[in-house]
Amino acid sequence: MSDTVIYNYYSQQLGADRIEEFINLQKKYQYLGYIILPICYSIKFFLISMCLMVGAIFSNFKISFSKIFKIVIISETIFLIPLIIKIIWFSFFKTRYTLLDLQLFSPFSLLSLVDIANVKKWFYYPLSTTNIFEIIYCFSLSYCLSNQLGLPIKKTGVTVISSYGAGLLVWTIFIMFLSINLS
C-alpha cells in the first residue's frame, strides 16, 4: 500500500500536514506490527484450539491440547489462499484502488456478492466471514481430527461445527457489536 492510497483516502477528512504526520508515525512504529502479529495469531490459534478442545471433551474424544493446536495451525494455512488472491488482484488486475477497496476485498465471500453501498457497515464482517475458505477450514479441521482419532469424518465434523462454529458465531456477534457501538 503506497502513501498515495493513504493520501487519497484521508484527503477529504484531514489536511495534508496531518496525513503526512500519520504516514510518518506509521513508518516510525512499523516494527510493532512484526511483534504484535505473531502474538495476535498465537491468541487466535489458542482460542480456536480451546473451542475444539471443549468440543472434544463433550464428544468424549481422547486427544491432547497440543495435538489440537497443531491441527489448528496446519488448517490455518488455508487462509493464505485469500491473501495470495488479494495480492495478485491488487497487483495485476486492480492497480488503482482505495484503502476501502483494500479493506473490503474478500474473495469468494457473501460480501463480494452484494453491493457494498446497500449494506450497513456493521454487517461487513459477517458477510466477509461467510466464505468458501471458512467451509474448507472446517473440513480441514474435521479431516485432521478424523485422521488423528481414527474416527469417521462425519463424527468429527459435527464436533468441529458445534465447537468452532459456535465460537465463530460468538466472535462475529462481538465484532458486530463493536462495529455498531464504535460507528
Query: Whole-model pTM?
Result: 0.85
Give CA–CA dist 79/180, Å, rounded. Answer: 26
What was the pLDDT predicted at 140? 97
What was the pLDDT predicted at 172? 96
- What grid cell was written down for 137? 477450514
What are the backbone dihedrals phi and psi of residue 138, each rounded to the nearest 5 degrees, phi first? -65, -40
Q: How many CB atoms lie within 10 A of CB 89?
A: 17
Rounded to a whole number of angstroms, the distance between the first and last alpha carbons of the chain is 25
Place of cell 490455518: 76
Question: Of the ranges 42-46, 49-53, 89-93, 158-162, which one carries the lowest mean pLDDT score?
Answer: 89-93
SS3 state at 130 = coil
Give CA–CA dist 134/140, Å, rounded. Answer: 10
Q: What percent of the chain lies above the pLDDT cut of 70?
A: 96
Residue 23 carries which side chain, given as an amino acid letter? Answer: I
- What grid cell was written down for 169? 458465531
124: CB partners within 8 A, 6+ apart: 104, 111, 116, 179
- Residue 181 vs residue 101, higher pLDDT: 181
User: pLDDT tens for residues 11-39?
Assistant: 767 777 887 888 888 888 888 888 999 99
- What grid cell was written down for 136? 474448507
Q: Which of 26, 7, 23 is nearest to 15 (CA)?
A: 7
Please determine, for residue 8, whether its predicted confidence score (pLDDT) is greater than 80: no
